[in-house]
Amino acid sequence: MLAMPRSNNLIDTATLLATAPWQHEKPVVLLKNVMRLTAPNPGMMTGPGTNSYIIGTADTGYIVVDPGPNDPAHIQRLFEVTKGDICAIVCTHSHADHSPAAKPLQALCNAQKTAQPLIHGLPSGEHASSNSYFVPDETLQNNELIKLVSRRLQPDSYTLKVIHTPGHAENHVCLVLINDSLLFSGDHILNGSTTVINPPDGHMGDYLDSLDVLTAACAEHQIQHILPAHGYVLDHAVKVIAHLKAHRLGREEKIAGVMQADPNGTLDDWVAKAYDDAPKHLWAVAKRSLLAHVEHIRSKK
């Protein structure tokens, strides 16, 4: 994973300790109202682990974004950090490293009688895998606003704007913290790697279109920083998105050339040539995105 430079208005302690191993026991304070607690599920597909973001203060209560896998220790830490004062639990999508902790965290709050948070998100699409089945309490609408308001007549209040971003998953959303011009990108934009687009739940055309939607959101809300579900904070948001789209389109052009040169080839044949710049042990994963590119290329004919 790549560490980005420290900005003037975002405190990313992990960036300052970029050479240190990730720890999962304590949250990293990014702003006075934004913390990151990383789940202990590191791996090839998750990097250091899934980032759960905690938005709010003791005055407003908290929103937990992407509570993560059903890991009891991580769920307990989320509860302890917020003192159970959770107003809403939001899942960017329903993959197994993002949403399974939502119901156990909700149940813990209910059992301790600290809060009764609802789970927000989009239900799993019809093509989602069985381990990604998810039905929220509240279905998020595109451009919906989720608000945290001070309970002590203080000026603090925070607003999250929902942006539907299908592509990585049919039910993927990103979130803009309007007050601080931050984009919570889920798995749509990662730090250190490109996300996997796995058909049929994943769709390359939708993914590319959603990148354009996020570019527009960055302009509208003057977003400089992206907070991904895996890895460190990303700076220069618009440039990051432009680079990511150019990379995807460049890969697609290469794949189209490989297909033209070997029209009767299989996915295994094509991945070896189209991803010859990637380590061979990653080709099995790359083949999933290759299929998404192939479907996108064929859809344009």
Name the nearest CA neighbour of 275 among 264, 285, 261.
Answer: 285
In the chain the domains, ranked by start, together with CATH numbers, are 13-236 (3.60.15.10)
Tell me the residue ranges of DSSP E strands in 67-177. Answer: 86-90, 118-121, 138-139, 145-149, 157-164, 173-177
* Residues in contact with 292: Cβ distance below 8 Å, sequence separation at least 6, in sequence order: 197, 198, 199, 202, 203, 204, 207
Phi then psi for 238, rounded to 5 degrees? -65, -40
Between the alpha carbon of residue 72 and those of residues 2, 31, 48, 78, 79, the distances in Å are: 28, 26, 18, 10, 11
Is residue 13 over pLDDT 60?
A: no
Is residue 11 over pLDDT 90?
A: no
pLDDT for position 7: 41
Report the C-alpha gap between 292 and 287 in whole angstroms: 9
Quick one: CA dihedral 7, 11, 13, 14, positive or negative?
negative
Pairing mode, if any, of strands 86-90 and 61-65?
A: parallel
pLDDT for position 170: 96
Name the nearest CA neighbour of 294 among 279, 272, 276, 274.
Answer: 274
Q: What is the mean pLDDT of residues 213-221?
A: 98
According to DSSP, the residues that pair with 149 across neighbouring strands are 157
What are the pLDDT digits (tens) for 234-247? 999 999 999 999 99
Quick one: CA dihedral 175, 176, 182, 183, positive or negative?
positive
pLDDT for position 129: 82
- Average per-residue pLDDT for the chain: 91
Widest Cα–Cα separation across the chain: 68
What are the pLDDT digits (tens) for 53-106? 999 999 999 999 999 999 999 999 999 999 999 999 999 999 999 999 999 999
pLDDT for position 150: 86
What are the pLDDT digits (tens) for 252-271? 999 999 999 999 999 999 99
What are the pLDDT digits (tens) for 112-171? 999 999 999 999 988 888 877 899 999 999 999 999 998 876 777 999 999 999 999 999
Report the C-alpha gap between 117 and 264 in whole angstroms: 53
The percent of residues above 90 in pLDDT, for the chain, comes to 83
Burial of residue 89 (number of CB atoms within 10 Å: 0-12, 13-18, 19+):
buried
Pairing mode, if any, of strands 225-228 and 182-186?
A: parallel
Single pTM value for the model: 0.93
Structure tokens at 99: 């949403």
* Residues in contact with 131: Cβ distance below 8 Å, sequence separation at least 6, in sequence order: 96
Pairing mode, if any, of strands 173-177 and 157-164?
A: antiparallel
Is residue 8 over pLDDT 50?
A: no
